[in-house]
Amino acid sequence: MTKNDQLHELVHSLSKNEKGYFKKYCKMYSSQQDQKYLKLFEAVDGVENYSDKLIKQKLKGEIEERKLAVLKNYLYRLILKVLEHFYSNKYPDLEISNLINQAKVLYYKGLISHARKILKKAKQQAEIHEFLYLKGEIMQLEQKLANTSAKSKTKYEENKTFFDTEMQNIDRIKHLIKCRDLERKVIDQHWLQGLSTEGEIISLERILDDLNITVDTSSSVTANLHYYNACVLHQYVTGGDLTIAYEHAATNFNLIKNNPKISQQDERKYIRILYTYLGLCLLLKKEIAFLEGIEILEAFKSKDIRTQADVFDLKYNLLFNYVIVFHQFEQGERYIKQYQKELNKYLSYIAVRSQIVLNHLVAYIHQINGHHELAMQHIDAIYDLKDEETRIDIQAIARIQDVLIHFDLGHWSIVISKVRSCTRFLRQKNHYYPINALLLNTIFSIAKKPKTAYEDVFKKLEKKLLALTIEDPAEKKFFEHFDFGSWVHHKAQKISFKEAFLAVKGKKHDQL
């Protein structure tokens, strides 16, 4: 986005209510000279593909062309000023900041008792919403107000109290930062890249151990949310105790329900905590709890397009996983149609890692249902993202899926080429596990000398795969994303992939 386009982008990001408020503001508070800015606003709002030349033509005779850059800069800042006013009572952090600024003005004017009253309200709100940084700013202003007292004894006692309270707040902020950083490290190491070695899992465990973080009633709710979420993800990533993970997730979910002010200030955090809880419901096959929870997620409303995109992303991630875990494959095709109808609205707001996962899940459901061409479209969509460093585990799975689909279709020359490129990728990314090697080598051998019947080859492969013992936790986690055993079984028994998938009783199909 070039600098000249920034005004156009800002104007076109405004909602109908925001545009109406801006126009009303300009008419009520601006001078006749300022009406030029309203005309410029309407001109920019009326064009889809912006250019200075087009705007000059639309406003010919109404503005000086040589002053367009100055007018645009002023209009940009004016829109931000109006938006700040528009949202001042809609977001608690902005409301508290406004109260702090009002108290400062009253302090500068020497109206100390007025300032104290405003600041008291700001402090109460900051505590309710756990805005610890704003609370620190409030404390500093409180100390300035205390220093205006004529009584030296009162001043000394108040300063000591302020110092102790400020240190406690700083300790809470430090604790919050540690918990937030802990969660970030867990997410970065798994969700962004995907664990590939046992060493990386050990490194992750050390992160948790070394920080030695504890939570108690004195901790902020927000800090506890970060901490428990990190613990949940750690248990899942390392193949730990999912029952413990579920307990942590349920604790987080209850913290959010019991502290609605916290969830209101960070809607996206609330949605992700709900997602984690529902994901564990799937892993532990708690279908009733999952269906109740997914209704809560679907009913969630937000005016923020990013939050709407999060709900879309996580909802379909969960629903596609539900299809696989509970074998609702026909329902899966209906979910996919709904997903595709809504996708364009949110696509630009969905992170690459989420796009990779969603495309993999859709391809997986299509593949199980025997819709190979549709499955390949979504695998190609993963390739088209051109990001080989994000969710490497899923990208590795997608490349193997690509090989299997072309094998099912009898595209022998393509299979040979795909096996070679897939093997290179797996080796480069440390995902060339023994199972992968056995599977790809078998497929490669058949593709080089195609047979009309190769069931016996796959029956032998099936026995070899069953005999393998997987010790590496990262390798175990990798094979939860796709049921290779069922695919081999369907070739060995000459039945459909879906029939083979359903024939495997009591087997996990974890896709999260």
How confident is the model over 141-156, as a mean pLDDT? 71
Residue 95, exposed/middle/buried by CB under 10 A (0-12, 13-18, 19+)? Answer: middle
Q: From CA 308, how far away is CA 271, in angstroms rounded? A: 10
Among 148-157, 256-265, 319-328, 469-478, name the one with the lowest average pLDDT: 148-157
Residue 170 one-letter amino acid: I
Q: What pTM was computed for the model?
A: 0.69
The per-residue pLDDT for 150 is 58
Whether the pLDDT of residue 190 is over 70: the answer is no
Whether the pLDDT of residue 209 is over 80: the answer is no
Q: How confident is the model at residue 207 (pLDDT cuts 50, 70, 90)?
A: low
CB atoms within 10 A of CB 241: 10
Whether the pLDDT of residue 33 is over 70: the answer is no
pLDDT top residue among 175 and 152: 175
Whether the pLDDT of residue 320 is over 50: the answer is yes
Q: How confident is the model at residue 205 (pLDDT cuts 50, 70, 90)?
A: low
**Among 27, 49, 46, CA closest to 38:** 27
The per-residue pLDDT for 512 is 39
Max mean pLDDT among 8-17, 413-422, 454-463 falls in: 413-422
The per-residue pLDDT for 156 is 64
Q: From CA 420, how far away is CA 440, in angstroms rounded? A: 9
240 Rama class: left (phi>0) / alpha (psi -120 to 50) / beta: beta
Q: Are 366 and 374 in contact (CB under 8 A)?
A: yes
How confident is the model over 187-199, as a mean pLDDT? 60
Residue with tokens 């279709």: 409
Q: From CA 37, how far away is CA 33, in angstroms rounded? A: 8
For residue 295 the two structure tokens come to 């209704």
Burial 353-372 (b: 16+ CB within 10 A, else e): bbbbbbbbbbbbbbbbbeeb
Q: From CA 508, how far away is CA 284, in angstroms rounded? A: 10
What tens digit of pLDDT does each residue of 260-273 get?
Answer: 777 666 788 788 88
Domain positions in the chain are 3-87, 351-512
How confident is the model over 90-95, as a mean pLDDT? 83
The per-residue pLDDT for 221 is 83
Q: Are 333 and 365 in contact (CB under 8 A)?
A: yes
Residue 351 one-letter amino acid: A
Residue 116, exposed/middle/buried by CB under 10 A (0-12, 13-18, 19+)? Answer: middle
What tens digit of pLDDT does each residue of 212-269 get?
Answer: 555 554 568 888 888 888 888 777 766 678 898 899 888 888 887 787 777 666 788 7
Q: How confident is the model at residue 441 (pLDDT cuts 50, 70, 90)?
A: very high
Q: How confident is the model at residue 195 (pLDDT cuts 50, 70, 90)?
A: low
Whether the pLDDT of residue 152 is over 70: the answer is no
The Cα-based distances of 109 to 58, 104, 106, 376 in angstroms read 47, 9, 5, 69
The per-residue pLDDT for 333 is 95
Q: Which helix (H) or strand (E) holds 464?
A: helix 455-467
**Among 382, 375, 435, 360, CA closest to 409:** 375
Among 10-24, 95-109, 207-221, 484-498, name the one with the lowest average pLDDT: 207-221
Q: Which parts of 90-213 are beta strand (E)?
A: none
pLDDT top residue among 216 and 14: 14
Residue with tokens 């404390």: 139
Among 152-156, 181-185, 426-430, 504-508, name the one with the lowest average pLDDT: 504-508
pLDDT top residue among 282 and 4: 282
Whether the pLDDT of residue 32 is over 70: the answer is no
Q: Are 404 and 442 in contact (CB under 8 A)?
A: no
Q: Are 320 and 368 in contact (CB under 8 A)?
A: no
What tens digit of pLDDT does each residue of 38-86 get?
Answer: 888 888 888 888 888 888 888 777 777 777 888 888 889 989 988 888 8
pLDDT top residue among 163 and 123: 123
Average of per-residue pLDDT values in the chain? 84
Q: Which parts of 312-356 are beta strand (E)?
A: none
The per-residue pLDDT for 34 is 60
User: CB within 8 A of 48, min separation 6: which ones?
Assistant: none
The per-residue pLDDT for 1 is 42
For residue 4 the two structure tokens come to 């000249």
Q: Are 486 and 364 in contact (CB under 8 A)?
A: no
Q: Are 476 and 195 in contact (CB under 8 A)?
A: no
The per-residue pLDDT for 356 is 95
Residue-wise DSSP of 282-310: HHTT-HHHHHHHHHHHHH---S-HHHHHH
Q: From CA 473, how far away is CA 239, in angstroms rounded? A: 6
